[in-house]
Structure 1
Amino acid sequence: MQSLDRAFELLEGLADAGRPVSLSELAEASGLPMPTAHRLLKFLTGQGYVRQEPDKRYALGLRLIRLGQSASRGLGTWATPYLSRLVARFEETANMAILQGDSCVYVAQVSSPQSMRMFTEVGKVVMPHCTGVGKAIMSELPDREVLSMLDRTGMPARTEHTIVTPQAMLEVLGEARRRGYALDDGEQEVGVRCVAVPVKGLPFLAAMSVSGPSGRVTMDAVDDIAPVIQEVAAEASAAFPAPDRVAALATP
Structure 2
Amino acid sequence: MRLLEAAGSHSGGAPAKQLAREAGLPLPTAYHLLRTLTHEGYLRREGGVFVLGAAAGRLAGGGLQQKRRTMIRDSLAHFRDAVGAPVYFAVYREGEIEVVGVSDTPGSPACEEWADFRATGFAHAIGQCLLGQLDESGRRDYYDRHPVEAITPYTVRDLRALENRIGALGRMQPVIERQEYALGTVCAAIPITAGDTAATMAISLPLHQEDRLLYVVDRLRSEVGALLSTLSFSISI
Compare CA radii of gyration and give the structure with the larger one.
2
Give the counterpart letter for 1:238 in structure 2. Answer: S
2:165 is aligned to 172
Is structure 2 residue 186 aligned with structure 1 residue 193? yes
1:241 is aligned to 233
Cα distance between partner residues in 1 of 2:65 and 2:208: 32
State the secondary structure of the residue aligned to 2:233.
coil
Match runs of 1:71-220 below 5 Å: 75-114=68-107, 117-120=110-113, 125-177=118-170, 180-216=173-209, 218=210, 220=211
Give the counterpart letter for 1:150 in structure 2. Answer: Y
1:40 is aligned to none
Cα distance between partner residues in 2 of 1:228 and 1:241: 22
Calculate percent identity across the aligned residue pairs: 15
TM-score, reference length from structure 1? 0.58
| Cα distance, 1:185 vs structure 2 | 1.2
Task: Give the direction of change, closer, same or farther, for the CA distance of 1:178–1:207 in structure 2 (3 Å limit).
Answer: closer
8 Å Cα contact 1:199/1:205 also seen in 2: yes
Task: Give the direction of change, closer, same or farther, for the CA distance of 1:147–1:165 in structure 2 (3 Å limit).
Answer: farther
Which of 216, 222, 234 in structure 2 is aligned with 1:231? 222
| Cα distance, 1:75 vs structure 2 | 4.4
State the secondary structure of the residue aligned to 1:177.
coil
How many residue pairs match? The answer is 174
8 Å Cα contact 1:94/1:112 also seen in 2: no
Give the counterpart letter for 2:225 in structure 1. Answer: A
In structure 1, the gaps of 5 or more residues are 1-68, 247-252
Cα deviations by residue, 1:144-183 (Å, 9 ceiling, x for unpaired): 4323422332012211111142221122213432561112
State the secondary structure of the residue aligned to 2:227.
helix
1:20 is aligned to none
State the secondary structure of the residue aligned to 2:194.
coil
Give the counterpart letter for 1:110 in structure 2. Answer: S
Once superposed, what is the RMSD of the aligned Cα atoms? 3.2
State the secondary structure of the residue aligned to 2:151.
coil
Give the counterpart letter for 2:228 in structure 1. Answer: S
State the secondary structure of the residue aligned to 2:201.
strand
Cα deviations by residue, 1:198-220 (Å, 9 ceiling, x for unpaired): 1212442221111121111x1x3
| Cα distance, 1:130 vs structure 2 | 1.0
Cα deviations by residue, 1:70-118 (Å, 9 ceiling, x for unpaired): 9876543222233223321332211111223443121111113416653
Cα distance between partner residues in 1 of 2:120 and 2:82: 28
TM-score, reference length from structure 2? 0.61
In structure 2, the gaps of 5 or more residues are 1-61
Cα distance between partner residues in 2 of 1:80 and 1:107: 10
